[in-house]
Structure 1
């Protein structure tokens, strides 16, 4: 081989030419990234004593265990967590824009001229490069800010999923217990009606009752029996939903899920008051509102990054090179050289595309602001409706409790008057029907009041103010 030549190129920041090997540090990802602007709302949860485990207010250990299991095993939450990790990784990549970038390459060629008798030449070239952009107009910082706000939006989206998972778990559990209670009421009334039907059959055989009385009693008994499969189906569907929420298949023979169906417990009811605080606090703690706010900040940051493209991009470079051929060697210092200087690039003088990108960013920001305002309006509507419905249902439940008590006394009086021959059996049937309706409505109202309490917590963002916290609006602390 007649000769060998190699070329090495290196681009570095001006101040870093002497420390080529990488003495510059890469920014580390913080555990909780602080947002550059508009970050006041991010620390509100630490400023106020919030209770995020609202489901413990129902005083049901089974419910607490189910919600805890759902929050640790739910697949939608795993998806939201993966999205958050992806956003954090993207933010880490954006922060690397503050540091210099490096690259390396090497090539080798073997060749010989077409003329006969020529020697084979080996050519080796290698390069090691690094470049650093001087962020004179804030483009990199704006991109970093957008990435950090994207992380916050993903974090709030995950929290929103957690609120939904917890509330849906609690709602399905309450639905199952409510269906079990209503099933028990229907079975108890069916048993009472069956005994009455047997007695009426005996009276009919002895000529003391009419065929009309017997048919009416039979129709009422069969109607009550017809309601049993509906409650049983509700119990099973709620069990299947709880299985999915806790990360299990509907046909999973899990003992804990089987015990939920086989063990009949009372409907869990909310204990104490729902401490809501002021509407301003609501706006700060609902995850969908905070996600929308982070989205606005992200779009505004992207708009700043787009405006930075109106100005030149300045990159500082330094070159170190070496050239070897048949007339020199690696140890020959005359084969080495270096160069240093800035590199400037600009999208101008035709900036129409840049201005179009700015217009797009501004329009998307306006859309994000409109979405935020609509989210706030929807949140206020949901809270007002949930609290109003919950308050009204509590009043309805109190009236139904008194109605059920009166219906129990009425059926005793109706039986007594029938046995003494003062009334016919139609009055007994009517009293039984009234009692069944009252007890079923009472069970349904207890179910609804618990479900509406869960809906209120969901509307409040899955949190409530801790006990002892001063209320901005005392009327919003509902019993």
Structure 2
């Protein structure tokens, strides 16, 4: 039988395995919800002066024009513990890409050892025959079916998915910091409003006591005025607790212990105000911007590449290898007789296990189909969150405006009741009723104003902005 030369052997191996890359090439989802007109068009909830279709700035919190808030967000993005964990996860994913890329490089190995052997029949004394060996092996994968290329594609897409997850954490940290700061200001704002109501009621109580001493009032009037004061004052501790809890949360977001909360923020008593309407753009911009949508899309790309990794196992794995070394007894070690080498293609093929490989391909294909469904679900949820946040903000904006008008009317009514009572044209019960209505209207309006800021932030979070700050 004729002996196959190395070149002929390599040609035969190459003939067994075509050079096309195994598995499908990745393409963005063509039949996804994301490409439908309903997903890419204007938002259904955008109406009136509350919103505009202008571009959302990356640093959306700068729309509040509050330098103290800007500084807090920057501190949080630099020191937040969750964000540092996400950064470490990204570094790990980058190392996985480096490992996968290194699989396409030349690999070398050095071996060496000393063997001692003695046949039992010889009767020779120990140690017997001493054999030394020293060798160097080199191999280079040809990757004819692109298994390594697909593995690198998968690892790179995984890294981009982890990067998107990091960006989602950045969005959460920026939004959480803004929200915690707003909660501090809102608690102080509601505290100040309630204190003004209590001060007004205390004035009425003092006047009632003077009238009692002058014979125009009764103890019953005094007790009712005192009860009104205590009822309003009872809500003050709750606002103080809300402020402190928000400060503790803010400290945590800044990567500090709760006791180390930023003291300079504790006196904030003015609610953050937007300079204008909220820029929301449209569905297309939202889909491009949301980090969770980008993460879902990158998972499809990664699992698509893994189909190729699994498919490549249907074909031989070929590499070019060579080895050289010395092996022999110690007295002959290093001589030409102890030297040997080999060079040629190395073939590995799990042909009998093709059903196992087919099962792995089916698993990878099913994973892609699941990813496609997950991508659609993520897009739909993002659109729902945005629509719901904008609808809620619009309606609460109307509610806050109505409560503001009610507060103004209650203030006028309370002033008129006080004037009528002082001139003896109305009884004390009417005055207390008017002041009670004012206290309720003031509290309701202050709560609505505070909630409105929270709903604004919810809109910004739903729009998914803020992660681009990482590029800065």
- Fold-level similarity (TM above 0.5): yes
Corresponding position of 1:283: 287
Whole-angstrom distance in 1 between the partners of 2:458 and 2:132:
71
Provide the aligned C-alpha RMSD in A: 2.5
Residue pair 2:322, 2:343 contacting (<8 A) in 1 also: yes
Matched, 1:308 2:318: no
Q: How does 1:205-216 map to 2 (within 5 A)?
A: 205-216=213-224
Taking the TM superposition and a 5 Å limit, the aligned residue runs for 1:45-64 are 51-64=57-70
2:322 match: secondary structure? strand
Aligned to 2:292, what secondary structure does the other structure show? helix
Contact 1:314 1:345 in 2 (8 A): yes
Asked if residue 152 in structure 1 is aligned to residue 160 in structure 2, the reply is yes
Deviations 1:148-190 (A, max 9, x none): 0010011000000010011111111111111111111111111
The whole-number CA distance in structure 2 between the counterparts of 1:195 and 1:150 is 67
Q: Secondary structure at the match of 1:52?
A: coil
Q: Tell me the distance in 2 between the aligned counterparts of 1:462 and 1:119.
A: 75
- How far, CA to CA, are the matches of 1:149 and 1:196 in structure 2? 70
Residue in structure 1 matched with residue 33 of structure 2 by the alignment: none
Structure 1 length as normaliser, TM-score?
A: 0.82
Q: Kindly state the Cα deviation for residue 377 of structure 1 after the two structures are TM-superposed.
A: 0.8
Aligned to 1:429: 432
Displacement after TM superposition at 1:399 (Å) = 2.5
Residues 242/356 of structure 1: CA separation in 2 closer, same or farther (3 Å cut):
same
Counterparts of 1:252-401 in structure 2 under 5 Å?
Answer: 252=260, 257-261=262-266, 263-325=267-329, 328=332, 330=334, 332-401=335-404
Q: Is the 8 A contact 2:157 2:298 kept in 1?
A: yes
SS across alignment from 1:323: strand
Shift of 1:275: 1.8
TM-superposed deviation, 1:110: 4.7
From 223, 227, 246, the counterpart of 1:219: 227
Tell me the CA shift for residue 319 of structure 1: 2.6
Say which SS state the counterpart of residue 251 (structure 1) adopts.
helix
1:430–1:142 Cα change, 3 Å: same
Distance 1:386 1:148 in 2: 34
* Cα 1:113/1:136, change in 2 over 3 Å: closer
The residue correspondences of 1:417-456 to structure 2 (distance < 5 A) are 417-456=420-459
- What CA deviation, in whole Å up to 9, does each residue of 1:93-116 have, x standing for no partner? 001121122222211235667735
Alignment correspondent of 1:248: 256
CA distance 1:137–1:117, change in 2 (3 Å)? closer
Select 2:170's aligned residue among 156, 162, 169.
162
Equivalent residues in 2 for 1:22-101, closer than 5 Å: 37-38=26-27, 51-101=57-107
| 1:131 aligned to which of 129, 135, 139 | 139
Quote the offset at 1:321 in angstroms.
Answer: 3.1
Compared with structure 1, are the counterparts of its residues 117 and 344 closer, same or farther at alpha carbon in structure 2 (3 Å cutoff)? closer
Aligned partners of 2:376, 2:28: CA distance in 1, in Å? 18
Q: Find out whether 1:107 has 2:113 as its counterpart.
A: yes
Q: How many angstroms apart in 2 are the aligned matches of 1:296 and 1:379?
A: 18
Report the 3-state secondary structure (helix = DSSP H, G, I; strand = E; otherwise coil) of the residue aligned with 1:382.
Answer: helix
In structure 1, C-alpha distance between the alignment counterparts of 2:152 and 2:68, rounded to whole Å:
45
| 1:178 and 2:186 correspond | yes
Q: 1:383 to 1:328 in 2, by over 3 A?
A: same
Spell out, residue by residue over 1:268-297, the C-alpha distance to the aligned partner (whole angstroms, 9 max, x if none).
112212222120121111000100110111
Q: Does 1:228 align with 2:236?
A: yes
Q: Residues 366-397 of structure 1: CA distance to partner in whole angstroms, max 9, x if unpaired?
A: 22222111111110100001111122222222
| Structure 1 stretch displaced more, 154-163 or 275-284 | 275-284
Contact 2:189 2:446 in 1 (8 A): yes
Extract unaligned runs of 5+ from structure 1. 1-13, 15-35, 42-47, 466-479
Q: Are the equivalent residues in 2 in contact too, given 1:58–1:271 (CA < 8 A)?
A: yes
* Post-superposition offset of 1:209: 2.4
Tell me how many residue pairs correspond in the alignment.
420
Contact preservation (8 Å) 2:184, 2:268: no
Does the C-alpha gap of structure 1 residues 399 and 49 become closer, same or farther in structure 2, counting only changes over 3 Å?
Answer: closer
TM-score relative to the length of structure 2: 0.83
Asked whether the equivalents of residues 213 and 425 of structure 1 are also in contact (C-alpha less than 8 Å), the reply is: yes
Gapped runs of 5+ residues in structure 2? 1-9, 11-24, 31-53
